[in-house]
Amino acid sequence: MTRINGYLGRRNLLKLAGIGGVSLAVTATTGALWSAQQAVGPQIATADQPSENPNPVRSDEALKRLLDGNKRFVDQKRQFPDQSTSRLHQTAAAQHPFATLLGCADSRVPGEIVFDQGLGDLFVVRVAGNVVNSEVMGSLEYATLILGTQLIVVMGHKRCGAVSAAVKDELLPGRISSFVEDIKPAVERVRNKPGDLIDNAVTANVQLQVELLQENSLVLSKMIKEGKLKIVGARYDLDTGIVSMIS
């Protein structure tokens, strides 16, 4: 039966009632809806609680795992962990990622590969320019509050096209300008600093997005204050494959 925003569609209501008994069906449906809404309430409240993670990983340990994996990737000693058929079956039942990654959608920066991780290890959100919008923030809140990850890494990368577009400040087609506008405040922070503007802006953009997550999300800021979450910045070098932390 079709239900939209918790209410039965009119067509389905008529099917339920029959032509001769609409008033009776309305009464019965109203009662059913009331009961259904009462049942939904506890479910919503439950969804706000962290899930039972059998092996929670503290933020410092999670970061170490990531950096160790990146070193294996750079040294060409990848272990390809958690990529077996048994792991596939294990994660089909539930997911318990040990870290969350907000990265750029650039095809050259796949998080699981550059950190040498596998199925169910990382909760990855990727968007051009690794910018924070409402959908991204909601996804990261889900990863921490519901899935229980205690580390969020915001990772930019060298020669980012989105950052370059923000620096050039040119008119762009379609909705490309939407994420470029989110990067421009970072560009202005470093416009008059020495060095390459695009390279400096990549770092500044990561710092800006970290700040936005810490300041604009009540969920994440609360978890940070309680010592249950750490948000850090990083940048990926396209030439070497090395991930460096940003303070």
Are both 7 and 84 inside the same structural domain? no
Are both 131 and 9 inside the same structural domain? no
Residue type, 154: V
Which residues in the chain land under pLDDT 70?
Answer: 1-52
Residue 54 within a domain: no
Residue 117 within a domain: yes
pLDDT tens digits for 47-91?
444 456 777 899 999 999 999 999 999 999 999 999 999 999 999
Residue 33 within a domain: yes
User: Domain with 106 in it: what CATH number?
Assistant: 3.40.1050.10
Token pair belonging to 21: 């008994």
Residue 172 within a domain: yes
Are both 233 and 124 inside the same structural domain? yes
Count other C-beta atoms under 10 Å from residue 161's C-beta: 15
Are both 14 and 70 inside the same structural domain? no
Where do we find the tokens 């079709």?
2
Residue 52 within a domain: no
Are both 19 and 100 inside the same structural domain? no
Predicted local distance difference test score (pLDDT) of residue 55: 72
Please name which of 68, 120, 129 lies closest in space to residue 90, comparing C-alpha atoms. Answer: 120
Are both 169 and 146 inside the same structural domain? yes
Number of separate domains in the chain? 2
Are both 77 and 31 inside the same structural domain? no
Residue 229 within a domain: yes
Q: Report how far apart, in Å, the C-alpha atoms of 156 and of each of 120, 176, 191 are.
A: 22, 18, 18
CA distance 210 to 226: 18
41: left (phi over 0), alpha (psi -120 to 50) or beta: alpha
Are both 150 and 179 inside the same structural domain? yes
Are both 93 and 165 inside the same structural domain? yes
Domain span including residue 172 = 59-246
Predicted local distance difference test score (pLDDT) of residue 52: 64
Residue 53 within a domain: no
Are both 37 and 145 inside the same structural domain? no
Are both 21 and 63 inside the same structural domain? no
Helix (H, G, I), strand (E, B) or coil at 245: strand
Predicted local distance difference test score (pLDDT) of residue 56: 81
Residue 223 within a domain: yes
Count other C-beta atoms under 10 Å from residue 162's C-beta: 23
Are both 17 and 82 inside the same structural domain? no
